Each structure stands twice: as structure tokens, then as C-alpha cells.
Structure 1
Amino acid sequence: MSSPDTLCRKAIPRMKRIVVKVGTSSLTYDNGKINLRFLDHLARQISDLKNRGLQVILVTSGAIGIGFPELGFKEKPAYLPYKQASAAVGQGILMNIYEHLFREYGHVVGQLLLTKGDAVNSKRYLHMHGTLLSLLELGAVPIINENDAVTADEIKIGDNDTLSAIVASIAEADLLIILSDIDGLYDSDPRKNKNACLIHEVPVFTRDIFRMAGGAGTSQGTGGMYTKIQAAEICVHSGIDMVIAKSTIPEVLERIMDGENIGTFFKGENVHPQLKKRDIIIGTAVKGKILVDEGCRRALLTKGSSLLPVGIIGTEGRFSEGDTVAVYCQNDEVARGITHYSSEDIGLIKGLHTEQLKEGLGMEPPYDTVIHRDNLLVMK
């Protein structure tokens, strides 16, 4: 642990891509009604950060918490179908408010309903990654929520804390900011120990930090400090910095991005960009091989190139779009990645230049690359 005057945060003002996660306890009052003042404050801050030139992704809880009072419940129901019904109602209400507020501040939003399963299924990961980066490239604010309305096994404690860390990793963000009803990580439970001290910075993550965390938070929300530490562990090992801070601090996002000593800062490890891709690519079964020529091998190894059809000479095995495949040059594995094309389609476009793909496929090609460099792990 470190003292408040360390320099861990000095890089924050130079960061360009951030993920902001906000919990149900911040979005609603104790009676379950929507806290419109907070939502307006949040939208204004994110819009101002966008105006600075930052790319911002918002991961929001609140669908169930906002939906259950609308259906006449006095508290969050325990019966799973009622939770899902509450989510179905709450998602629409929440997005309608976000869309209205951000439009007032001159920005467009796009909704993605995801689950943690989207990050471990390579085909779903591929499409999620592409959609997320396209929204950022086109200047929109992606707003992400877990898909509570249909995904039973995802409705459990802390899902959106860990989901926000997974989103940060997929988006290759510089920083994750988790806003909640707590100031940050304390050395003991401040509800039980009035002398508990706020830890301002965690330059090195250790498993001992979990011992400082408690259980779930408020009756509206699902996540306690423990799940935020789980999110920190994911971020740190992905090379992403993270801050836990109290959502009610005035201009909290802008002040964090200015480098102010607010909340608890977790320093990401120095992770090589290639290693960030390892879990999704190495962690899934290889379904086949793509065989490339020597020129393609050199481009992949030395130039950081995507895998293009022109360098492909053949395939082995049958695989589909979104499968993990190995890339071979003669008998050596050069790389591994998630393919945009099936083995059958690669048979039609192998050796072709980009401008020839439409003729080879007999239709407009969905991608210029067979494996984009963002989804390609070069094997050392």
C-alpha cells in the first residue's frame, strides 16, 4: 500500500479510453425511484470528457433496481422470473433516460446487452469487440448492461463489477472507474470500525486485499467491495489501471481524469499487448489451421500485420467464422487467432488481393482481413 502523495496517478490525464461503471445504489434512491439528478450529472461529466477527446464506455447497473418498483414490488423480488421481468421493464426506462440526457449534451449513445459468457465464446467475443470499437470510432458512447432479462445464470452478486472489468479488457481501455456508494477500499470495514483508513493507492495487487472486502452492498444493488476487488484483479492483470470512488463527489469523473487523489487507485501491471489476448485465444480450442507463405509469416512476425487472404495458401480441418485457428508456415506455428471466415470461404479467397474478394466470394466481403491483428496472438 502507498501513501497519498505517490505518483501512481500521474499518467491518468494522458489516458484516452476509459470505462465507467455505475452501480444501482448510485442510480436510485433508497425507495427504488430513479435519481435523475445523479443521472444528469453523470451524463454531463461523460459528455464533457468526450468533448476533451476521450473515448468513454459506460457500464451501467440498474435495470432490475429501476424495474421492480414499476411493477409494484416494494423490494427486489427473489423469484427469478420476476427479476427478469423487472430487468425487461427497467432496461427500456434506463436507456430512454440515458438517450435523452446524452442527446441534450450533444452525444449519441448505443446500447449493448452483454453477459460474461460473451467474453469467453470466441465468436460472440469477435462481434462484441468489433461493435464496441466501431461505436467508439464513430463517436458514440457505448452503454453496456448485463442481459438480465433472459440470462438466468448471470443474475448474481457483483456481475456488473466483473463485467465492467471484462469490457475494459476487451476494449483495451486505459482505465476503469467504478462509481459506487463507497469512498474506496478501507483497511477494515468502516461500518464496524470508526478508525478504518481509506487506502488511496494500491501500486501492487496481492490476494491479501480480498481479506479487506465484505459482502454485498445495498438492497437495491448486488455488488459489495469484494466484487470490486475481483474487478481490480482482472484489470491489474490485463495491464489496466482502476479507480474505485464515491459517485456523489462533485465532478468526480473529471477530477479523477485530472489526476486528483480521489478514491482508491489500483495500478495495472506492465503487460505486453500480446498477452492481453492470451486468455481469449489460448483459452479456446483450436478448430483448424490456416497455412501461409513466407512473406505473410514475416509480415505477422515483424510488422504487426493482420492476416490477409493474399498470404494464405491453404487450410487444414473444418472451422467456422469466430473459431480459434492456428496459423502455420510450413511446420511452424506462427500465430493463433479468431477467424472472420470459415475454412470453406477461405478456400474461395486464398491468395486474393483485397479488391478481388467480392469476385471470389460472389458477394460483398464482410471483412478485408481473415484475422484482424486485434484478435491475433503471435506465438514467440
Structure 2
Amino acid sequence: MRQRQHEAVPTPRADVQAQAQRWVVKIGSSLLTNDGTGLDLAWIARWMEQIRHLHRAGKEVVLVSSGAVSAGTALLGWSQRPGDLASRQAAASVGQSALIHHYEKILQQVARPEDPPLHCGQVLLTHDELRNRKRYLNARNILRVLLDRNVLPVVNENDAISYRPIQLGDNDTLAAMVCNLLDADLLVLLTDQDGLFSADPRRDPDACFLAEVTAGDPRLEAIAGGGGSGVGTGGMLAKVKAAARAARSGTATVIAHGRHPDILPELVEGKAIGTFFRVRRPVLKARKRWLSDHLRVPGSLILDDGAVRALREKGRSLLSVGVLRVEGEFHRGDLVACRAQDGREIARGLIDLDASVMRRILGHSRAELEQDPTIADSVV
């Protein structure tokens, strides 16, 4: 397994980009489509040429692609992107097949005679796949096999079957989760903006461009604040959060304008285009990344002060005696959040007991619990 250690002195940006071996490139809906309806095939051809360039340079590339709903909207003859979930799912079902067809066709059209075979492989994910440990590992194995076989994985959320309570939400988040799956070296988020500014440049003429920042810096979320283009689901805030999420596996991030000429080849050359998010935080181990990547948990345990200290300072298992309250519904083996009494999340872990059992044992002493062989004293 590829594992990176946290570096005390960050590697210069140019070196990170040039040396990055495994790339995750996300292209947003606002770039892929013509005003949200139909696909911009001319620009898709340019990006496929650039991905071919990366492959010639010996890089591995995973493409995270939006655009299925917009493509389906055009094919179904609708004048605008549908607002209700069922219609969006129908559009995604129609549009996803068109999207992967065009990627494969154009990828072959832009090939040079000396290029080795390179094909697209479609990978559609949902939150269910990524929150279940076995499915998560299976998704990782599939992506690794595709890369090993010189295939370009084209990843998207499975919008046709995802429903709002379990949706990943946006492909910026999905791209970051793919980075954590694969220990990617570089995440490139291509958008319709030049990068991150100190304020929204569309509203504030004094906004300053931020060329290099630190992933996970809490000030960045306040800066990113505003919404997106109106075509996709992710704005600049989602991209800043994605950079912080990707940093958990040591992945640096670039947010750049996708229609900058030869954006990907120039990044390989180490050029300073867009905003670079350096990594200056400890790299989480693979299992902890999986735990932290869960966007939603079915329930929470509210802890007393002693249990909070034990988790924070000693990393011990959580004992039932330290639980004050149970929120939500969950079953043994589910991931739950451990929270302080003020609601702050302290930790996450896999629960050993159903929520119904947890509620039954609250307020009982350890001696009383030991009389019941069906109850584990250590719950997380």
C-alpha cells in the first residue's frame, strides 16, 4: 500500500506537481456543458488530449466527471435542468450513458499512432458503497485494477439511484474521497473560476487572488463562503472542504480554471496556475480515513466529561458508563459519532451494540452490566 509520511518542511509546489504520479482530475458541470444543457464536445476533446499527455508522461489519472444530469436534460428535450429529484434521476440515467460514450469515442479520436491502448472504465458510486467497509475496499480494488490495466476510470455519483438522505452531495467531495481511496498524489479541481480569492471577485473589485494556501486552514471556509455557478451542486466552499478532506491522505490540491489552455500539461511542468493547497497536517492511516470520510452517521453517543477526556487524551475504547444519552437509530457494526455535551464531535467508531440496547443500559452500573452476558461493557 502507498503510504506517505507527514513532512515537516513542505515540498515546493512545482516539485509536488511535477512529481505527482497518481492524479485525480475533477471536471465540473459548468465546464462540461453549454449553459447547463448538452455537452461541450470541443472542450471535452481538449481535456481528453491533455489526459493523453499525462499518460505519455507516465502518470496515472482518475477522472471524476459531472455532467450526467445536464447531458440527459438536453437529450430528453427539456429546456432547463429539472428541479425535482425523480426528474433529475431520469436525466442522469439518460445522460450518464451519453457522457461515457463521448469520453470513450473522443479518447480514441485524439490518440496518436504511438500511444498504447487507453480506454474508459465507468465507475458509479453512492454513499452506501463508501460507508460500508467491504464495499469501500472493493471500490478501491476496482479502481486499482483499472489503473493497472491502463484504463481511465471515469467516476461519478450514481445519481440515478441516489436519494437525498444518502447523496454524496457534490463531485468535489467525491473526488476527495477517491483521493483517500487511492492515496492519490494530486487532486485537480477544474472549475469556471481561476482559483480561490480573498472575497468573491464577481462582487468585490478588491478581491485578491490566493496563489498558495494550507489545506484545512479554517479561515479558508469563511473566505470561500458563497455559492457556485448555478449549473452544478458544488461551489468554492465545497472545493475548499474537498482540499481539506484530500489532505488526510497527503494529497495536495489545485483549484484552477478548466478552460485555461493546456491546464493539465502546464501543471505537470510545475507551473503556478490556480490556487495550490499544500499539505501540512499528519496523514491519517487508511482505516481512520475511511472512518472520517463518512458524510453521515446514523446516530451519536453523548458523553460525560470523563469519557471525553479518555478518548481525547488516551484514545481508549469507550465504556458504556461514560454515555449519557443516545441519539438516532443504529445497529451493531454501524459507525457512530461520539459527542461532548455541547454537541462537538470528539471521535467516531464502530458500535458494538444496537441503539435499543444502548438505551436500555444507560444509568446502570458496571457491576449490574456484568450480570448480563449479552451486553458488552466496551461499546465503541
Q: Which of 190, 197, 220 is equivalent to 2:201? A: 190
- The letter for the 1-side match of 2:180 is S
Q: Which of 206, 222, 232 is equivalent to 1:211? A: 222
Q: Does 1:100 align with 2:105?
A: yes
- The letter for the 2-side match of 1:135 is L
Give 1:219 shift: 3.0
Q: If the length of structure 1 is used for normalisation, what is the TM-score?
A: 0.70
Aligned partners of 1:19 and 1:173 also within 8 Å: yes
Alignment partners' CA distance in 1, 2:270 and 2:241? 24
1:191-270 alignment, distance < 5 Å = 191-203=202-214, 205-269=216-280
1:326-345 alignment, distance < 5 Å = none
Inter-CA distance 118–12: structure 2 relative to 1 (3 Å threshold): same
Report the equivalent of 2:145.
Answer: 134
Q: If the length of structure 2 is used for normalisation, what is the TM-score?
A: 0.70
State the aligned residue count.
Answer: 284
For 1:97, what is the secondary structure of its paired residue? helix
Inter-CA distance 154–178: structure 2 relative to 1 (3 Å threshold): farther
Alignment partners' CA distance in 2, 1:31 and 1:157? 20
Report the equivalent of 1:41.
Answer: 46
- The letter for the 2-side match of 1:95 is I
Q: Which of 147, 160, 177 is equivalent to 1:149? A: 160
For 2:53, what is the secondary structure of its paired residue? helix
Aligned partners of 1:158 and 1:227 also within 8 Å: no
For 2:174, what is the secondary structure of its paired residue? helix
Inter-CA distance 10–203: structure 2 relative to 1 (3 Å threshold): farther
Aligned partners of 1:148 and 1:154 also within 8 Å: no
- The letter for the 2-side match of 1:129 is R
Q: Does 1:50 align with 2:61?
A: no
For 1:256, what is the secondary structure of its paired residue? helix
Alignment partners' CA distance in 2, 1:268 and 1:18? 16
Aligned partners of 2:194 and 2:257 also within 8 Å: yes
Give 1:157 shift: 8.7
Structure 2, unmatched stretches of 5+, are 1-10, 112-116, 295-332, 336-380
For 1:141, what is the secondary structure of its paired residue? strand
Aligned partners of 1:9 and 1:265 also within 8 Å: no
Aligned partners of 2:196 and 2:210 also within 8 Å: yes
Report the equivalent of 2:290.
Answer: 280
For 1:57, what is the secondary structure of its paired residue? strand
For 1:85, what is the secondary structure of its paired residue? helix
- The letter for the 2-side match of 1:280 is W
Give 1:257 shift: 1.6
Aligned partners of 1:58 and 1:144 also within 8 Å: yes
Report the equivalent of 2:299.
Answer: none
Report the equivalent of 1:8.
Answer: 13
Alignment partners' CA distance in 2, 1:256 and 1:145? 23
Alignment partners' CA distance in 2, 1:133 and 1:190? 39
Q: Which of 175, 191, 203 is equivalent to 2:186? A: 175
Give 1:14 shift: 1.2
- The letter for the 2-side match of 1:279 is R
Segment drifting more, 149-158 vs 69-78: 149-158
Alignment partners' CA distance in 2, 1:66 and 1:236? 32
Alignment partners' CA distance in 2, 1:221 and 1:155? 18
Inter-CA distance 37–282: structure 2 relative to 1 (3 Å threshold): closer
Task: Render the CA deviation track for 1:18-52: whole Å, top value 9, x for unaligned.
Answer: 00000000001116121111100010100110111
Segment drifting more, 57-66 vs 102-111: 102-111
For 1:33, what is the secondary structure of its paired residue? strand
Alignment partners' CA distance in 1, 2:249 and 2:36? 38
Aligned partners of 2:24 and 2:187 also within 8 Å: yes
Report the equivalent of 1:343.
Answer: none
Give 1:8 shift: 3.0
Aligned partners of 1:110 and 1:141 also within 8 Å: yes
- The letter for the 2-side match of 1:231 is A
Aligned partners of 1:238 and 1:269 also within 8 Å: no
Q: Does 1:25 align with 2:25?
A: no
Q: Which of 57, 61, 71 is equivalent to 1:66? A: 71
Alignment partners' CA distance in 2, 1:220 and 1:84? 16
Aligned-residue sequence identity (percent) comes to 38
Alignment partners' CA distance in 2, 1:282 and 1:43? 33
- The letter for the 2-side match of 1:18 is W
Alignment partners' CA distance in 2, 1:199 and 1:56? 26
Alignment partners' CA distance in 1, 2:223 and 2:168? 17
Give 1:253 shift: 0.7
Inter-CA distance 226–70: structure 2 relative to 1 (3 Å threshold): same
Alignment partners' CA distance in 2, 1:204 and 1:142? 26
Task: Render the CA deviation track for 1:91-150: whole Å, top value 9, x for unaligned.
Answer: 011000001011222421100001233222101101101100000011111000110001
For 1:112, what is the secondary structure of its paired residue? strand
Give 1:323 shift: 11
Alignment partners' CA distance in 2, 1:263 and 1:154? 33
Aligned partners of 1:116 and 1:154 also within 8 Å: no
Structure 1, unmatched stretches of 5+, are 1-5, 285-321, 325-380
